[in-house]
């Protein structure tokens, strides 16, 4: 039985990240199958603030990224956390939790005011992310948009804009 190791991405991990991200989202109702491209676009735009992988034995089992967002009321230091992807054969092994907990801890370390995420509310809710009425991502189904303040309890008001290269 292999244990899980988490570390920052290295250049050699990029093909495995692309491959597992593509496979993880097949058939998900909140996905347009663009996540692998989103990760690459963020990286190319130098906007991938965090990029962690979990390694299990010979496999890259999971990946999470984070990137800065702009909020229309001018609130600084908020981040998008995601996409988070676990290879189908490694789901349910704790990989996703390890990635989310590390990403949120690192964002706190960076002094982030908060995090937003797009995806399954049942999953992100486990980590405190929740739908918020006054912070919106207009191009997206609101039930799949969530936020979590990290510095205090304040949630900004307005629209979230994603970095260059991001189209969910
Ligand atoms: C969602 C995902 C990241 C979870 O990763 P994972 O490694 O399978 O999750 P973990 O093993 O850490 O599971 C942690 C807990 O979350 C639960 N969980 C997993 N997926 C869940 C979901 N979609 N909704 C609710 N709970 C979920 C697990 O049952 C587990 O519960 P337990 O601790 O009570 O046993 C992974 O399944 C995945 O990549 N899915 C496809 C892509 C995706 O949907 N990404 C996230 C949304 S953008």
Confidence of residue 32 (pLDDT cuts 50, 70, 90): confident
Domains with residue ranges and CATH for the chain: 4-161 (3.40.630.30)
So what's the pLDDT on residue 29? 80
3-state secondary structure of 160: strand
**How many angstroms does the Cα of residue 24 sit away from the middle of ligand 1?**
11
**How many angstroms does the Cα of residue 75 sit away from the middle of ligand 1?**
30
Cβ–ligand 1 contact at 96 (below 6 Å): yes
* Cα separation, 82 vs 65, whole angstroms: 5
Ligand 1: nearest atom to the Cα of 91: 8
* Cα separation, 51 vs 14, whole angstroms: 10
Ligand 1: nearest atom to the Cα of 97: 12
Confidence of residue 119 (pLDDT cuts 50, 70, 90): confident
Task: Report residue 33 as tokens.
Answer: 């199958």
Average pLDDT, stretch 2-15? Answer: 97
Using a pLDDT cut of 90, give the percent of the chain over it: 85
Q: What is the overall mean pLDDT for the chain?
A: 94
Cβ–ligand 1 contact at 91 (below 6 Å): yes
- Is 90 exceeded by the pLDDT of residue 36? yes
- Is 60 exceeded by the pLDDT of residue 33? yes
* Cα separation, 100 vs 126, whole angstroms: 10
Q: Is the dihedral of CA 101, 133, 72, 144 positive or negative?
A: positive
Task: Report residue 101 as tokens.
Answer: 């907990």
Confidence of residue 168 (pLDDT cuts 50, 70, 90): low
**How many angstroms does the Cα of residue 94 sit away from the middle of ligand 1?**
8
**Which residue's CA is minimally distant from atom 36 of ligand 1?**
86
Ligand 1: nearest atom to the Cα of 93: 11
DSSP 8-state code for residue 137: -
**How many angstroms does the Cα of residue 41 sit away from the middle of ligand 1?**
24
């Amino acid at each position: 039985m292999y244990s899980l190791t988490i570390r920052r991405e290295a250049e050699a991990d990029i093909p495995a990240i692309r491959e597992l991200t593509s496979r993880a989202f097949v058939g998900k109702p909140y996905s347009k199958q663009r996540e692998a491209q989103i990760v690459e676009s963020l990286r190319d735009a130098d906007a991938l603030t965090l990029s962690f992988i979990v390694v299990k034995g010979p496999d890259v089992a999971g990946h999470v990224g984070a990137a800065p967002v702009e909020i229309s009321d001018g609130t600084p230091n908020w981040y998008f956390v995601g996409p988070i992807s676990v290879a189908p054969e490694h789901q349910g092994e704790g990989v996703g939790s390890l990635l989310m907990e590390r990403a949120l801890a690192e964002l706190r370390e960076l002094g982030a005011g908060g995090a937003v995420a797009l995806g399954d509310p049942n999953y992100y809710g486990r980590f405190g992310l929740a739908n918020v009425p006054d912070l919106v991502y207009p191009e997206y189904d609101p039930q799949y948009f969530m936020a979590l303040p990290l510095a205090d309890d304040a949630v900004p008001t307005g629209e979230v804009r994603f970095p260059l290269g991001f189209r969910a």
